[in-house]
Chain A
Amino acid sequence: MTTAQTLRPAQRERSNKAGYLFVAGYTVLLIAFGVLPTTYALALAFTNDQWQFTGFGQFIVAVTDYRFLQSMANMGAFLVIWLTATVVFAVGLALVLRNFVRGRASVFWRFIFYLPGALAGVASTLVWMFMLSPQASPIAPLLHAIGWTDFGQVVQPQNLPGIFAVMAFWVGVGGWIIIMYGAVNNISDDVMEAARLDGASSWQLAWYVQIPMIRQWVVYMLILAFAGGTQLYVEPQLLFVASKQVDPTWSPNQLAVQFAFGATSNPNVAAALSVVLLVVGLMFAVVLVKRSGMFNVEAED
């Protein structure tokens, strides 16, 4: 696009004006709910309730809180289980669908896998609480068999990362299967045919051709899913509401809410923790941009 360079000044002026009008509404919202909260969080994180500069003081308070490491460890355990399952099964099922299932059947299965996404949030969490409740669950005999006879036994701390991973996987993996399927589908037929003619079996084809060729998308999925996973809030919060045995500050986001609105309300520490989580998320975003090159602003110019 070289039109911008060749425009006459009058045209350029008109172009500027029109452009601003088109983006005006969005820009106002972007400033109000993107830029300002970020700036506000940063300002709070480096000051105290008198707006005096405190350096990294609030960060130290947040990070040395006795609940901080535990909540980060909880989130870490959840992320490891959930990301592993998501990568393995999103890629695996996409490959199975692409390589062995044709036409309408493939569309049908992708829709089935995607369907639980409609229940994302509170609904899916409650549904899985029922699935795991020894009283109401359709798989109650199975739960009894492993020694879980009441809900309190199910939500023991050591089970929680796995439970949240199942909930998140059930809701979210379908969307990734669709994206991975699209990525595999875009591999050129020539490449596939050539590999087949060279005698590659389906497994070899998947492992040496298809997976390497969608590696970018896998990295993209891993990083976006990681950023999403760090936001874990609804699931542990509802489990805490249901069964007071569950730690009210299980995830870092819950801890931030406790800092902000809990007994010793301290918005500055809450903001510091938000900034920590934001930096973690942004670090992965940077990796995302660098590794996958998917968000290339300049591509079009």
Chain B
Amino acid sequence: MTVTRNPVRATESTGTTPQVRQATPTRGRRPRANGWARPVLVWLILLAFGFFFVLPIVWLILAPTKTSTELANSFPFAVGSLGEVGQAWQHLVAFQNGIILRWFGNSALYSFGGLALALVTSIPAGYGLSRIRFRGRKLLLTITLIVMIMPAATLVIPMFLELNAVKLIGTPLALILPFAYFPFGVYLTYVYFSTSLQSSMLEAARIDGASEFQIFFRIAVPLARPVIAMVTFFSFVGNWQNFFLPSLVMPSDDQQPIQVGLSQLMSSSPAFNPGGTANLGIDAPELTLAILLSVIPVLVLFLFAQRSLVSGMFSGGTKG
């Protein structure tokens, strides 16, 4: 092992001049040592994982088009009928007088409310931390980094007790305010403004007599659209998918977001507990339809964000 390691390491550390070497094409082992075997192997690996990641989603999309008997007995990826989707939807709406609509409405209220406040607080904060020197700046940055990597779930119970102490339990604010607290967004904005905003531009504006707020709104915000999109994405997805906090701070059923609603639908259905529950009209097709509807907002956001998610924000360099 070390025998092969050394030559590679040596070139890495001494630095090379590729242009010179390319002039004399090498007889290295790279050219078609195993012609067709490698592409086939690569595609087999990718297809295997592709199926693993995608087939459950395909199954989920098809499931509401079938009756529960068909789901159990027919080919799993057979397409049923749209009529069955309508049936399943009617059963869902009939469940507890259409409480599912309430759950979606609640999810929208909590997620968008949290998102709006998160944007209003984290974008200016990230900007202020990166571009303005003020007393306490380093302390605030350090605390932000610490809380960002703290496992959030462990603070849920103390947060519940705190919200209880100020009598917010059961009000929308019990979710909107914790959702608005988004240190990761502050950090993203901070990094963005630190790395991609030229201070000379800000200095010029300051010399021209612009106030800090004019600079922020006229120069920084228009330039910050990519990071605003990123904060929006992560904040909304996190809010929408949250289960732990709402399951504790919302005491009554009709205040729950859809995530908690899904778990109630599941426990009301015989899907995993045959014969264990009364017939409430919720079975596998209804449950899968509810799951599907609950992920559509995030799925849409994923499709919109696809480009920046896959290529932009993490990939760093400009190579493709």
Contacts and interface: CB of A to CB of B under 8 A. Distances in A.
Contacts of A77: none
Contact of A30 (B46, B60, B77, B144): B144
A270 B158 CA distance: 9
A160 interface: no
Contacts of A34: 143, 147, 150, 155, 181, 183
A57 B51 CA distance: 51
Interface string A119-151: 111110011111101011111100000000011
A62 interface: no
B274 interface: yes
Interface string A189-232: 11101111111111011001100000000000000100110110
Contacts of A103: 320
B160 interface: yes
Chain B interface helix/strand/loop/mixed: helix
A285 B142 CA distance: 13
A289 B145 CA distance: 10
A91 B180 CA distance: 34
Interface string B291-320: 100110011011000100111001111011
A44 interface: yes
A93 to B, nearest CB: 7
Contacts of B125: 22-23, 25-27
Contacts of B152: 231
A127 B8 contact: no
Interface string A160-202: 0000000000100010001101110110011101111111111
Contact of A199 (B29, B39, B248, B320): B29
A32 B243 CA distance: 21
Contacts of B154: 41, 230-231, 253, 256, 274-275, 277-278, 281
Interface in A271-296: 271, 274-275, 277-278, 281-282, 285, 288-289, 295
Contacts of B159: 33, 37
Interface in A1-22: 1, 3-4, 7, 12, 14-22
Contact of B46 (A109, A111, A117): A109
B212 A18 contact: yes
A154 to B, nearest CB: 10
B196 interface: no
Given A36-B162, A130-B284, A297-B141, A178 B16 contact: no
7 contacts: A34-B181, A100-B38, A101-B46, A123-B241, A130-B60, A201-B29, A257-B248
Given A109-B50, A138-B55, 12 more contacts: A14-B212, A44-B161, A109-B46, A111-B310, A115-B57, A118-B237, A242-B266, A243-B272, A257-B157, A260-B157, A274-B158, A285-B146
